Structure 1
Amino acid sequence: MVTVGLLYPGHSAEDDYQALAARLNGEVRLPVVTTSVGEDAHRVDALLDLGRAERLAEGAVQLKQEQPDSVMWACTSGSFVFGREGANIQAGGLAQAVGVPASSTSIAFVDACKSLEIYQVAVAASYPEDITQHFVRFLAAAGIEVVSTGSNGILTAAEVAMLTADQVIDMVNAADHPDAEAVLVPDTAMHTLAIVDDLELATGKTVLTANQVTVWKGLDLVGPVPSLPDLGMLF
């Protein structure tokens, strides 16, 4: 059994991972350690504070007790606001602290796209527009073109966690574009792991969600990613 340790900021949709682990009947362990949060806000200063090294280091100490095979910083905005270099520094710090390979959700999006040879995407974001543009630039730096965006202006992770499946599907459909090879849904505060297949059915194309790519990358760090049910084209 592979254990992917997850560092998750605060409390919003961490139960998405726990529900997935239960569905997989022990095939993959997904222990979650929640990190501290100063202010729950999709705002640059708050996100830089959310992802600072001290907060991650505190969580890493707890997560090490789970003896994970890999570690993921399960936060998109709290990684991409640091840029590619900053995100790599985050991941490197976690790897050093826990002693296993580590990455983050933002890096996972890039690696998942490249794994599927996807280079033109739409972004269906819960964030305000300025935060969405940080993600667009993060993707662009990796050679992934964003052909359309939908920014929904939701200010807190707590609010995002309350979105229904139908609301998420509507958000993804609204952001889609004919030129996009896939739609990216970048918020680990959004419950998506039970509806990835529904999102792909609604759009007729690959959909990559934050919690989905986080699990995928955690497995990818360990070895070949197993084929898992109901998790879309990526799996």
Structure 2
Amino acid sequence: MTRIGLLYPTRDCGEDDFLALAGKLSPDLTVDFAYVPWGDNVGQVDDLDAAGKHEAVRELGAPGRLVSAARFGTAPDVVSWACSSCSFTRGLDGALEQSRVLGERLGVPARSTSLAYLTALAHLGTGRVALASVYHRDTTATFAGFLAEAGVSTVHSVSADAPSDRALAAWDGRRITELAASADHDEAEALLIPETALHTTPLLEDLETGLGKPVLTATAVTLWDSLRALGTPPIRQGLGELFSR
């Protein structure tokens, strides 16, 4: 049995989507969650302005905060910080630092959703992307800057400016599909949907069929990259190009 430990920001948001995808990948794959508490001064994320949200997710991704929260009932084989914005707002060096300290703390391979995007894009040989972002445009620009540090260019993006991850967990497939379609661009080799609260697993194949290119969701790249870190990248049909190569 392979056990993936996911650090996650808000309880009861997108955990069931991770579990749904894990069930499609292997009956021997177990996913456990540990939760990283928001800062004492955050209150309701929905009530924060764009700058306040940006600072809140940056604080949430502080390496020391992640290490303190990384406590699982059973030791995982690999751990990942399963939050997109909280792993890219500190830049590429910051994401690598998060991974380093978690790996040292748990003694297992450690990754994050943002680093998973870079690994997935390299695996697909993709250097130009479009972003279907649920964030404020300033946070979307931060993610584009993170990608640029790794040599990936963003040719187009849209920003939904959603109020919180809890609100995003309630989005239905139609709304996610509409966001993806609005973000697509002819020059983009792949489309990215960077948010682990969204329920995207049921949409993976249909999104790619509709857009005619790889669509990389946060949930999908996080689990794919975690298994790849163990040397066993999953190959499954019906889950999009990332899992079929």
**TM-score after normalising by structure 2:** 0.91
Question: Relative to 1, partners in 2 of residues 1:195 and 1:27: Cα closer, same or farther, differing over 3 Å?
Answer: farther
Does residue 76 in structure 1 map to residue 87 in structure 2? no
SS in 2 for 1:108: helix
How far is the alpha carbon of 1:231 from its aligned partner?
Answer: 2.0
How far is the alpha carbon of 1:155 from its aligned partner?
Answer: 2.3
Counterpart mapping for 1:1-235 below 5 A: 1-11=1-11, 12-24=13-25, 26-38=27-39, 39=42, 40=45, 43-60=53-70, 62-63=71-72, 65-235=73-243
How far is the alpha carbon of 1:24 from its aligned partner?
Answer: 4.2
Q: Which amino acid aligns with 1:30?
A: V
Structural RMSD (CA): 1.4
**TM-score after normalising by structure 1:** 0.94
Does the Cα contact within 8 Å between 2:135 and 2:159 map onto a contact in 1? yes
Distance 1:234 1:99 in 2: 27
How far is the alpha carbon of 1:25 from its aligned partner?
Answer: 5.3
Q: Which amino acid aligns with 1:2?
A: T
Q: Which ranges of structure 2 fall in alignment gaps of 5 or more residues?
A: none
Does the Cα contact within 8 Å between 1:169 and 1:202 map onto a contact in 2? no
Distance 1:228 1:32 in 2: 24
Distance 1:20 1:108 in 2: 16
How far is the alpha carbon of 1:218 from its aligned partner?
Answer: 0.3
